[in-house]
Structure 1
């Protein structure tokens, strides 16, 4: 996880958070243009995430839900003023892009699959996002109308389609999606923390909820390809998860949906 030393003006932050920032070493740990993440090196460590007003509410709710199951970090504060502020405790270990993990790709692949299968077996009673699938498809509609898309996510087996053709593909098959599984929503190596290959916790669960397991399966296969620079672990990942639970046609559908993600 990248950490660059920074200095900030504490007057720009809510009073409830000041005691965590004062006399602490601060590091920029941001990896997205849409949110700023500061690592607060104080006591056991904290992460402070800030973004546009209202945009962290779902993440705060889902993080709290995961934390109650021992799957994520405690949300110390969630404050929505001119901007959103979410303060969480540091989770021990390193994320899965750490070289000690990527140097053992087979073990990493199997670990990701095993952890995902376990997550998908968790009860979702009380989940604050009860219909991820509806939200997921609403995003497709919105971004298609706004001509916001990235066709690089499309499964290569579908050939070269334009945005209209991809949208048509999604529209004709969206009924295949289920809402019967607790999802991470962004199941990628940087969002899974391990301590010597022992699970520590998930982060960045703001896209999670009750939805179709193939969303996480798609991202698990995608991240292994992206971060390890090879697609050779794709089938191994699906096999380790449970090949009988993986529908490759729905994986293709998810790839099309993610073009409008």
Structure 2
């Protein structure tokens, strides 16, 4: 199996091969859209993420930007060639917040998760290299709707039986919500596996490729979605605790719902993934 996996990595660029040589390699994730490897080397442990070509440019830019503010791993190397994108980052000490050891303590986890999001949204957006606001998201959602794409699981999560009704509600809410959009640095995929914690303190964030200057309610929607998905029980109490810890005065339920409707058509957590025709 090890030889087979190494053969699959043989086409990686020479610079990437240099990190693979002599490293103990563990497969963290292996899916069609991305592969993540942990490379344990004598001097340090690093992570290598590989995606199809053109899919990680924004992630590299956002990771570099946030790493300078102590919020993300350090970017060691980013390369793109004819077949793929390659990003090597430092390791942040801790475990992802979806680890079983964290899920056993839902209240402490919820508090840490909310505090981590509040801290991220307090980052000064000056110099942020990416804009990913509601206007940009709504434009993409509109295009996807007209192409017949919507995520079935999110439709059901939002309480809809069909995409047309959800789209009409999206349009009806757009003007009011877009006019009051705020300007914070968002993660863009704020889910428990993308938050690194240690002793229930957030140490950093990963997979920030859908981040940028945007509206905090997009992260709030996905944070609540993740708590429901990962904890699965007593959600109303947990959701209330999450919003209270984050700062209820900063959260607008209508805008959270609006961001959920955007997500129905914007791809699953910002990715072009749709689970079957409607």
Q: Show the counterpart of 1:253.
A: 258
Q: Name the SS for the 2:247 alignment partner.
A: helix
Q: Show the counterpart of 2:249.
A: 244
Q: Show the counterpart of 1:66.
A: 66
Q: Show the counterpart of 2:22.
A: 23
Offset at residue 130 of structure 1 (A): 2.6
2-structure distance, mates of 1:34, 1:219: 20
Q: Show the counterpart of 1:100.
A: 101
Change (3 A) 1:219 1:149: same
Q: Show the counterpart of 2:113.
A: 112
In the superposition, the TM-score normalised over structure 1's length comes to 0.92
2-structure distance, mates of 1:225, 1:181: 24
Offset at residue 154 of structure 1 (A): 4.2
2-structure distance, mates of 1:194, 1:165: 39
Residues 28 and 39 in structure 1, CA contact (< 8 A), matched pair in contact too: yes
Offset at residue 132 of structure 1 (A): 3.0
Residues 134 and 214 in structure 2, CA contact (< 8 A), matched pair in contact too: yes
CA RMSD for the aligned pairs? 1.9
Change (3 A) 1:31 1:11: closer
Residues 131 and 179 in structure 1, CA contact (< 8 A), matched pair in contact too: no
2-structure distance, mates of 1:94, 1:159: 33
Q: Which runs of 5+ in 2 are unaligned?
A: 268-278
> How do 1:103-142 residues align onto structure 2 when only pairs under 5 Å count?
103-142=104-143
Q: Show the counterpart of 1:216.
A: 219
Residues 155 and 162 in structure 2, CA contact (< 8 A), matched pair in contact too: no
Q: Show the counterpart of 1:186.
A: 189
Offset at residue 155 of structure 1 (A): 7.6
Residues 149 and 163 in structure 1, CA contact (< 8 A), matched pair in contact too: yes
Q: Which runs of 5+ in 1 are unaligned?
A: none
Q: Show the counterpart of 2:5.
A: 7
Deviations 1:44-96 (A, max 9, x none): 21111111211100111001111010000111111111111111111111000
Q: Number of residue pairs matched? A: 257
Q: Name the SS for the 2:229 alignment partner.
A: helix
2-structure distance, mates of 1:32, 1:13: 17
Q: Show the counterpart of 2:171.
A: 171
Offset at residue 252 of structure 1 (A): 1.2
Q: Show the counterpart of 2:53.
A: 53
Between 64-73 and 159-168, the greater mean CA deviation after superposition: 159-168
2-structure distance, mates of 1:44, 1:132: 37
In the superposition, the TM-score normalised over structure 2's length comes to 0.86
Residues 133 and 179 in structure 1, CA contact (< 8 A), matched pair in contact too: no
